[in-house]
Amino acid sequence: MQLYNHRVIRIIRESLKLTQQEMSNKLGVSRACLITYENGRSKGIRDFFFERMIAQFGIDLRRPENPHRIVFVDSTRIPLQVYQYLSTLEINET
């Protein structure tokens, strides 16, 4: 399975105008845990985090079909303007 580009998490959070604490609260994880995902340093099991991103924001970070696009499984979970912005982004590795 191809994994997410860790920069996507920060882009999503900032697009939603959430602080790290606010996003971690919504996902049910600690701020420290969120930071490890944002920085690409997480070595733990990602399934819980991925499932929470889907449940809370309708975004699937396990996007094996296209590593350069954000995959939405339920675009109604975020504001329309944020969806429109995120769906047009092309995420490239740096």
Between residues 46 and 85, which one has the greater pLDDT? 85
* The model's pTM: 0.85
pLDDT at 68: 77
Phi/psi at 74 (nearest 5 deg)?
Answer: -155, 95
| Type of residue at 36 | T
Task: Decide if 51 contacts 67 (C-beta within 8 A).
Answer: no
- Roughly what angle, to the nearest 10 degrees, separates helices 47-57 and 20-27? 100
CA distance 75 to 40: 25
**pLDDT given at position 63:** 63
- pLDDT at residue 76, as a whole number: 95
Residues 81, 37, 45, 24, CA torsion sign: negative
Q: What is the pLDDT of residues 34-82, one digit of tens each?
A: 998 888 787 666 788 889 999 999 998 876 677 778 889 999 999 999 9
